[in-house]
Structures are given as structure tokens and as C-alpha cells.
Amino acid sequence: MNKKTIITMMLALVTMTGLAQTKTATITGYSPALKDGMLALVYVDDNELPATIDTVQNGRFSLTVPVEEFTKSYIFLEGEGSPNSSRLIWLSPGVTVKMTGNDYLIPIWKVESSIPEQQTEDRLIEPCRDVLAELLKLNSDRAPWEKRGPVEIKRRKMEMDILPSLPVDAASINKLEDISIDVKSINITHNNSFPYMEQLKELEKSMAARAPKGFEEQLAEIHANIYPPHVLQVGEEIVDVELFDMRGEKHHLAEVFGQDNRYVLLDFWNLGCGPCIQSEPEIREVYEKMKGKLEIISINDNNLSAWQNHAFSKRIVWKNWNDGKKGKGINSLYCDINAWPYFVLISPDKRIVWKGMGYIPGSFMGLAEGLNGPKQDNTSYLSLAIRKVDASASGTTVSFRYYSPKIYGFGMSKGAYLEANGKKYRLTAADGIKLDDTNYTQVKASEATEGLLKDLFYTDFTLTFEPFDTMPSTFDFKEGDEKGDFVVRHVSLE
């Protein structure tokens, strides 16, 4: 289905939805930078489909949004130059909200609204506008954490400084939840590096004491983010849980192990997650190739009814389960952050060998290569797999295959080494790859003619290392010792 067809279907759904509603709110927007034909979309609360869509004309859009009660909504722009970020707008029936800006950066536009919570929201944004603009630019450029992290931390510190002076309402509590989620992710991913934890703990305590009734569940989630329970990590054994399939029948995670020495891939997803849907064709292709070696379990965290009746749920051909706890059950045990898609690879002996957030095209093709090659644990990037190892008295030659969209370059350091017997074995030669340079994948990886798979390629290369002085049973390959370097552990020579 092409993009034009999808947009046409969404417009039809939006029109039919509007006919059934009697109460509405209006959102208007203007920026001289907007191009004709761009789309403005509004999503109400956590609904997966837009409530209303409008096409930009002369820099303007107008959205009539069906709303029955006070709620939050998210405005997106779709088109060339638009950021992959939204602006939170609070709505009530009969209210008109006016948005204005001078650029595409809708998350930092000025907003005029009579709703008190929107005024709280804007008091949080106004002092942070320059920092937010910088952060949007870094996100657009896919800047590494080393550049993006300090700006993100600065933003969260500024928001924490502002919050004590604001009313404790839906907007300020929502912002505290956003901060708590982000800080949890920073601490897990970057070794407890958020420097203002004590301030955040005091802020949470103060706001919880002043909060009106009705926010107990949200405040409990905030507290759990700031004081997170233990999440299973690489190397740990699984914890069994009960889940339900699409027919409502009960299953246990442990039941899939012990079947022909299979690995198990947990795919945590949500109905409103675009990358979850984008990953399905590659996962499907790998699933068909790897039957008997890989079991896949998609784990959804929407409410049971929405999940069971959704068209995408019915399209999944492997195990598709849900624990009915809306992200507070198995997700909290296995996922470091509350984001989708999130993947966990488990070995046949029930040990976690890899975890990763987000869909990187080529990851699952690489996973299949790794499972078909010598036994190995890829703990960094699944896109790189070891296919063969030739170890002799003259040296150890390792054959690799790397998957990625052809337009994305990749590199390999001259400092790569093998680690075994308590020592390092240096790289001595390379074939099929330029070291310390940009390389591009060369061979088409799939017969797909549409979607991300059609642009997926691979390249093969070998690296030769100093010979092992004593032949080990396993070794580790490391591109280097920097964060983000390729690492493949426990490569078997048996």
C-alpha cells in the first residue's frame, strides 16, 4: 500500500469519525515557512489514528478536533523539512487554540489558549525555546549522545527549575512524567549519568504531596521511573511470566524453550508505533528462513480488545501475545525504557544475550547470519555477523557479513582485535573492506520491491589476526574499546 493510499484512507476515517461527534475544539496554525501541501495531523490522547488532518495552504492549517472532554492532543507536521516531533496541546470542547511560528519547528511555536493547563505548558516551553530548537536540530542530524546528551540534560534541568513555581495540574504532572521517563533512559543507557537525581527526587516528593486527586496512577508511574525496579540485563536468566494469545488462551514464556535448541526473540511493540510496523517485513523474511532455529514472540502492551481487533495484529504469523497489563508487566521486567520497538534475544539456555531499542534495517538479517554461523553472542549491533572462522598456526581469519541500507556508510577500525586466553590478538590484514574509512554495502539482500527491505544491502569481508598461542574454545571480537564499537562475544571454535 503506498503512502497516498494510506493518507486517503486516514482522511476517510477522520471524516467518518467526525460525523459521529457533536463536540469539537479548533486548532489553527500559521508559519510563513510552511509549504503548500504539507499535512497537519492531530492525535487525541493515545489514539493510533489521527483525529483530524488538514493540508497546509499559504502557510496555514485549521483542525476541527472531535473532543468530548478535557484531554491532551499531539500536533505533527508531515512533509519535507518537518521535525519528527510533536507539540502537546490541551483541548476542551468549544475551545479555539491558535499556534504561530516562523519555521517548521512546531514543538516550540507560540500557543494562545484559554485552557489553564496549556498556559502551564507554555510557561515550561518559553524559557527553554532556544535549547529545544538546538535539541530538535541535533535529533534531525542524528547526532550522537556525546553531542545530544548535554543539551538534553540542560533542557531537563531547566524544566525541573521551573516546575516548582507552576500549578500542580495535568500539564505539570505530565511534564514530570516525561522527565522521569527520559532520566530513567539516561541512567540505564549511560551508566547513571543524570547529575540532578536528588533535585528530581525532591521535586517528585513535593509535587506528589500537592497533587489533586485523580493522578494517583500517573504519580505511581513517575515514582517507579525515578526509583526503578530491577530490569533483567544481558547475561541474566529469564523470568517466566503468563501471557495471552489472540484467542485469549494462556501461555508461559518458559514454554517456548527446550524446542530444538532454538533462540527466542522477544519483540515488544505498540499499535501506535510506526517503526514496529516498518520492522515486520524484515522480521517475517527472517522468520521464514529461520524456522527451527529461531522462535519469535511479539509482545503487545495495548489493552487486550484493541490489540485483538487490530488489522496489524492479525497480520503477524508468529506468536503474538499480550499480558494484559498495558506495559506494567513483562515490559518492566525486560525493557530498560518504555519505548517501542524493543527487542530481547534469549539463548536456548534461557540467558539474555542481546537487547536493543528501535528498528535498524538489517538487524534481523544479521541475526539470521549469526545463528547460521559459528555460535556467537552479538552484544552490540546485530547487523554485523561472523559467518566463518579459520584458525591456524599462521593466523586467525574471521569472515563477516554486514547489513544496512546502501546509503549508510560503515567503518572498521585498524585497532580491531580478538580477545582470548587472557590476551589480545592484533589485526594483521583485511580483505573486502577499507579500514578507518567509510564503506558501503554492495549486494542486494532481499527480493522485496517496496518498503525498507528493497534498499537493504550487505557486504562480505574478512579480517585476519595474529595466531592464537593456545587454541581457545571461544573468543571475543572487538573493534575497539570505545562506546559504539562493534563487539561479538563468545565466538565458538568448537
What would the mean pLDDT of 191-211 be, rounded to a whole number? Answer: 96
The pLDDT score that the predictor gives to residue 22 is: 67
Q: Residues 369, 485: one domain? A: yes
pLDDT at 55 over 80: yes
Q: Residues 372, 483: one domain? A: yes
Ramachandran region, residue 45 (left: φ > 0; alpha: ψ -120 to 50; beta: rest): left
pLDDT interval class at 202 (50, 70, 90): very high
The pLDDT score that the predictor gives to residue 490 is: 93
429 located within any domain: yes
279 located within any domain: yes
Q: Residues 276, 202: one domain? A: no
The pLDDT score that the predictor gives to residue 259 is: 64
- Full 3-state SS string of the chain: CCHHHHHHHHHHHHHHHHHCCCCEEEEEEECCCCCCCCEEEEEECCCCCCCEEEECECCEEEEEEECCCCEEEEEEEECCCCCCCCEEEEECCCCEEEEECCCCCHHHCEEECCCHHHHHHHHHHHHHHHHHHHHHHHHHCCCCHHHHHHHHHHHHHHHHHHHHHCCCCHHHHHHHHHHHHHHHHHHHHCCCCCCCHHHHHHHHHHHHHHCCCCCHHHHHHHHHHHCCCCCCCCCCECCCCEEECCCCCEEEHHHHCCCCCCEEEEEEECCCCHHHHHHHHHHHHHHHHCCCCEEEEEEECCCHHHHHHCHHHHHCCCEEEECCCCCCCHHHHHCCCCCCCEEEEECCCCEEEEEEECCCCCHHHHHHHHHHCCCCEECCCCCEEEEEEEEECCEEEEEEEEEEECCCCECCCCCCEEEECCEEEEEEEEECCCCCCCECCCEECCCCCCCHHHHEEEEEEEEEECCCCCCCCEEEEECCCCCCCCEEEEEECC
Tell me: the pLDDT tens digits for 304-321?
999 999 999 999 999 999
The pLDDT score that the predictor gives to residue 19 is: 42
The CATH number of whichever domain residue 373 belongs to comes to 2.60.40
Asked if residues 446 and 453 have their Cβ atoms less than 8 Å apart, the reply is yes
The pLDDT score that the predictor gives to residue 217 is: 87
Percentage of residues in the chain having pLDDT higher than 70 = 95
pLDDT at 212 over 80: yes
Asked if residues 115 and 91 have their Cβ atoms less than 8 Å apart, the reply is yes
Give the angle 475-481-482 at the CA atoms, nearest 5°: 140
The pLDDT score that the predictor gives to residue 442 is: 96
Q: Residues 38, 56: one domain? A: yes
* Residue 413 belongs to domain spanning: 365-492
The pLDDT score that the predictor gives to residue 82 is: 83
pLDDT at 267 over 80: yes
Tell me: the pLDDT tens digits for 363-390?
999 999 999 999 998 767 899 999 999 9
Cα 92 to its chain centre, rounded Å, is 31
Last residue of a domain, one of 67, 82, 114: 114
91 located within any domain: yes
Tell me: the pLDDT tens digits for 117-129?
999 999 999 999 9
The pLDDT score that the predictor gives to residue 7 is: 44
pLDDT at 399 over 90: yes
What would the mean pLDDT of 225-233 be, rounded to a whole number? Answer: 90
The CATH number of whichever domain residue 320 belongs to comes to 3.40.30.10
Q: Which amino acid is at 308?
A: Q
Q: Residues 67, 143: one domain? A: no
pLDDT at 62 over 50: yes
Of 474 and 329, the one with more pLDDT? 474
pLDDT interval class at 1 (50, 70, 90): very low
The pLDDT score that the predictor gives to residue 84 is: 78
In the chain, the largest separation of any two C-alpha atoms, in whole Å, equals: 80
The pLDDT score that the predictor gives to residue 483 is: 79
Tell me: the pLDDT tens digits for 4-39?
344 444 444 444 444 444 699 999 999 999 999 999
Residue-averaged pLDDT of the chain = 91
Rounded Cα gap, residues 224 and 334, in angstroms: 15
Percentage of residues in the chain having pLDDT higher than 90 = 78
324 located within any domain: yes
Could you give the number of structural domains in the chain? 4
pLDDT at 358 over 60: yes
1 located within any domain: no
Last residue of a domain, one of 325, 359, 393: 359
Last residue of a domain, one of 178, 205, 226: 226
3 located within any domain: no
Which among 184, 187, 190, 196 has a CA at the least distance from the CA of 159? 196
CA trace torsion 391, 392, 394, 396 (10° rounding): 0
